[in-house]
Structure 1
């Protein structure tokens, strides 16, 4: 059914991620699919300035916590570890997710979404943007 699944996660939204995991485990187990978890780190002006001056340690410090969190997430998932991987990027979450999806061409994207509120109504949510622009199926978990 699914050979590969992309799962964008936000390390600051652990409750939402925990709602997504049972769906990931179930669907990946059905066809022994490969699963790639993906987290996007925000780009701040301080990080941009640090990069322009060659301070790679700012990037390294920003990724250490995210990598640790993703490794723990993968460790705790009840799927074959050889089928699990993760990736990190800096940028706008929706744009980075869509870029990675274009590169990987997964059969499915599974993304969590909070209940809409006024800010998502006015600005749009990442999940809504992914659903509108992705070229593959997207499963939104609430």
Structure 2
């Protein structure tokens, strides 16, 4: 049913990620799907990385930590390693998730969301922005 599943995560929201993983594993196993984890870093990290000229030893600390977290996540998930990858971008999470989805054309986007509160109702949340803007199915896990 699904060939490609995009899984945006916030590396600072470990509890949300833990809730999402069982759904990812189950749906990916059922259809032998490719899973792409994704995290968006703030633009300040992009500026630091722009000056690094691609040398890993000069990478921004947040970028290195994010890569380490995503590698650990990939190692811990109960799926074949060749079916799991990750991507990192710089910018606003909602916008970067939608841009990556337009690029890679996943069959499904699975993301976690906290319970809405007054600030998310007034300002909008990343999950609701992805649901509104996505051109594919979105599964929101709470």
TM-score in terms of structure 1 length = 0.91
> Which residue of 2 is the match for residue 84 of structure 1?
84
Quick check: 1:18 aligned with 2:12?
no
Contact 2:46 2:90 in 1 (8 A): no
Quick check: 1:120 aligned with 2:120?
yes
Unmatched segments (≥5 aa) in structure 2: none
2-side partners of 1:107 and 1:26: how far apart?
Answer: 15
Aligned residues: 139
Deviation at 1:59, TM superposition (A): 4.5
1-side partners of 2:58 and 2:42: how far apart?
Answer: 13
> Which residue of 2 is the match for residue 2 of structure 1?
2
Unmatched segments (≥5 aa) in structure 1: none
Provide Cα deviations, 1:21-66, integer angstroms capped at 9, x if missing partner.
Answer: 000000000010000000001123x864x467x3557654331000
TM-score in terms of structure 2 length = 0.91
> Which residue of 2 is the match for residue 69 of structure 1?
69
> Which residue of 1 is the match for residue 35 of structure 2?
35
Deviation at 1:136, TM superposition (A): 0.3
2-side partners of 1:38 and 1:47: how far apart?
Answer: 16
Q: The residue matched to 1:140 in structure 2 has which SS?
A: strand
2-side partners of 1:51 and 1:80: how far apart?
Answer: 31
Which 4+ runs in 1 deviate beyond 2 A? 54-62
1-side partners of 2:116 and 2:26: how far apart?
Answer: 26
